């Protein structure tokens, strides 16, 4: 195994980075800060001791914690990886510790990291959940003491699963000065296997089990097929090289973080190859944008029965953002110029209401929809309700960002790049903190109206406990308590 060359950021330095300033010398106690700290301590104690299962979390819980769910009902031995579950909560704990140096927060973050380590697959990544009960032998976890002969070993980039786990683990690894050997080895193993799974063209499939098959997935530029099937053909769509749901965008963001944290040229090179793949994956005029996924011929391909071969309004905007990031990281304007034809195309493809279609037909550029029976149509009158067939257009702000980036000199670009690795430090409004304090119950929980969608007998208006809300509130408290500038 190749050892990593870490950038040795100390815990104290990371705490300073979080605030962006040197710690202030306080001359008097601030009553609201005292209340905020108590609220943070109660929240972390409740969530890490009463809500956690095996150190991990799911999406939401009934207020009494009797019921829980991710993308389905969950029992006491199942935790969820896909955000906003275990990695999201773990990162909130880490942020809270870096702001406050509260030992309870660090302990909670480490327990969450250990949960993820217990769920790492032999192929290097993570699936949507981690099993700790009777289902555990059916999964090819690296830490399993026993596994079935057909143990499932499908690491996934879909919906930010593996990427979110690694973003949290990488940051915790750095915060611990790379001294937690099992944690560090877990990260190294994952990154090594992600690099091996990268295809010759620079992209990745939605899931992987081992190294890329270079012969089956040669390096080609994207092109339009002579024809494509109008009915769903089935097949193993997860093997396609994918941008679906911004999987590649999330992967590149994680690799840039790894390259910055460990000063390892392999991770930077992998991210660069991913950016170069995006340039080659942009389809030719008159539709110079991106598909959700590509087959081995680099033609747009079907994924699920409601995801036809098409130009994608959502994933194309994600590709533009990823190329902007590549420019900030490298200064290579080829990444920027590759986005201009796509922005022009997206601008002229807006729907009458200003939105973008999720899918545009290859060749005609007509908006493409599906009926509730999953038949292709040009009408939006009978859409399935579980999927977004129209998406917000961010072309105007993307154009503004393009112009701003194009005008940067190299010194300013490098300063802007550095800001990508400086956690948000704007102090929340005191009234917002008072609201958080007042809304916390005696246990340390934040409850809210909401439903458990997979529990038919649960009340439709809650109350529920939501992991996203917990993480958001904890990070707000952490930013309020972070050291402030000296006046």
- 165-191: per-residue pLDDT in tens? 999 999 999 999 999 999 999 999 999
- Segment 322-347 shows an average pLDDT of 98
pLDDT band for 15, please (50, 70, 90 cuts). very low
User: How many CB atoms within 10 Å of residue 235?
Assistant: 12
User: In the chain, what's the furthest Cα-to-Cα distance?
Assistant: 73
> Domain span at residue 182?
11-481
Whether 4 shows a pLDDT value over 80: the answer reads no
Residue 6 within a domain = no
Q: What is the share, in percent, of the chain residues with pLDDT greater than 70? A: 93
pLDDT one-digit tens code per residue, 223-234 = 999 999 999 999
Cα gap 444→136, rounded to integer Å: 32
Domain-embedded: residue 487: no
Q: Report if residue 1 sits inside a domain.
A: no
Structure tokens at 30: 């601030």
Which residue, 394, 366, 393, is CA-closest to 380? 366
Residue 385, both tokens = 């309700």
Q: Report pLDDT for 485.
A: 60
Q: CA 348 to CA 25: how far, in whole Å?
A: 55
Percent of the chain with pLDDT over 90: 89
Which pLDDT tens digit goes with each residue over 101-157? 999 999 999 999 999 999 999 999 999 999 999 999 999 999 998 778 889 999 999
Cα–Cα distance, 277 to 262 (Å, whole number): 24
The answer as to whether 175 is a domain residue is yes
User: From CA 25, how far away is CA 262, in angstroms rounded?
Assistant: 32
Q: Regarding beta strands 356-357 and 293-294, do their DSSP bridges make them parallel or antiparallel, or are they unpaired?
A: unpaired
**Position 472 in a domain:** yes
Residue 373 has pLDDT above 70, yes or no: yes
Mean pLDDT over all residues of the chain? 93
Q: List pLDDT tens digits, range 250-305.
A: 999 999 999 999 999 999 999 999 999 999 999 999 999 999 999 999 999 999 99
CATH code of the domain covering residue 351: 1.50.10.20
Tens-digit pLDDT profile for residues 191-247: 999 999 999 999 999 999 999 999 999 999 999 999 999 999 999 999 999 999 999
pLDDT of residue 462: 86
Tell me: the pLDDT tens digits for 50-62? 999 999 999 999 9
Cβ–Cβ under 8 Å, residues 428 and 479: yes
Would residue 5 count as lying in a domain? no
* Interval 390-437: pLDDT, tens: 999 999 999 999 999 999 999 999 999 999 998 888 999 999 999 999
Question: What is the pLDDT at residue 5?
Answer: 38
pLDDT value for 438: 98
Non-local CB neighbours of 227 within 8 Å, separated by 6+ positions: none
The domain tally of the chain equals 1
User: Which residues neighbour 331 within 8 Å (Cβ) at sequence distance 6 or greater?
Assistant: 410, 413, 414
Residue 69 lies in a domain: yes
Sign of the C-alpha dihedral, residues 309, 310, 315, 320? positive
């Amino acid at each position: 195994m190749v050892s990593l060359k870490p950038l040795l950021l100390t815990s104290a330095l990371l705490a300073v980075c979080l605030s962006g300033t040197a710690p202030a010398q306080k001359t008097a106690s601030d009553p609201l800060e005292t209340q905020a700290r108590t609220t943070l301590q109660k929240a972390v104690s409740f969530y890490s001791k009463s809500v956690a299962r095996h150190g991990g979390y799911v999406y939401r819980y009934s207020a009494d914690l009797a019921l829980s769910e991710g993308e389905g009902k969950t029992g006491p031995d199942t935790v969820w990886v896909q955000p906003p579950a275990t990695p999201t909560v773990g990162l909130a704990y880490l942020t809270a510790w870096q702001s406050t140096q509260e030992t309870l927060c660090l302990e909670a973050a480490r327990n969450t990291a250990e949960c993820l380590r217990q769920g790492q697959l032999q192929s290097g990544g993570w699936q949507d959940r981690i099993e700790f009960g009777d289902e555990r032998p059916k999964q090819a976890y690296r830490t399993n003491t026993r596994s079935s002969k057909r143990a499932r070993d499908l690491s996934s980039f879909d919906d930010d699963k593996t990427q979110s786990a690694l973003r949290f683990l990488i940051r915790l690894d750095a915060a611990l000065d790379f001294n937690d050997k099992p944690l560090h080895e877990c990260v190294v193993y994952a990154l090594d296997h992600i690099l091996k799974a990268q295809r010759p063209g620079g992209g990745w499939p939605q899931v992987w089990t081992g190294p890329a098959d270079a012969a089956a997935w040669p390096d080609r530029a994207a092109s339009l097929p002579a024809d494509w099937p109008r009915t769903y053909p089935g097949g193993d769509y997860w093997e396609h090289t994918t941008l679906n749901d911004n999987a590649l965008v999330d992967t590149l963001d994680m690799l840039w973080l790894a390259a910055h944290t460990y000063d390892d040229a392999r991770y930077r090179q992998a991210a660069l190859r991913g950016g170069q793949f995006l340039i080659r994956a942009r389809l030719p005029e008159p539709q110079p944008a991106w598909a959700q996924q590509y087959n081995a011929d680099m033609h747009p391909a079907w994924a699920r029965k409601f995801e036809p071969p098409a130009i994608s309004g959502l994933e194309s905007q994600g590709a533009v953002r990823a190329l902007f990031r590549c420019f900030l990281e490298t200064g290579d304007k080829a990444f920027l110029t590759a986005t201009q034809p796509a922005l022009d195309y997206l601008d002229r493809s807006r729907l009458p209401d200003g939105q973008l279609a999720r899918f545009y037909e290859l060749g005609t550029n007509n908006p493409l929809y599906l009926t509730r029976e999953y038949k292709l149509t040009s009408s939006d009158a009978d859409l399935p309700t579980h999927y977004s067939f129209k998406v917000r257009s961010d072309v105007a702000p993307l154009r503004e960002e393009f112009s701003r980036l194009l005008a940067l000199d190299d010194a300013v670009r490098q300063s802007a790049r550095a800001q990508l690795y400086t956690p948000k430090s704007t102090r929340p409004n005191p009234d917002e903190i008072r609201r958080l304090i007042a809304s916390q119950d005696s246990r340390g929980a934040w409850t809210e109206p909401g439903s458990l969608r997979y529990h038919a007998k649960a009340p439709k208006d809650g109350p529920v406990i939501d992991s996203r809300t917990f993480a958001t509130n904890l990070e707000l408290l952490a930013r309020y308590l972070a050291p402030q500038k000296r006046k």
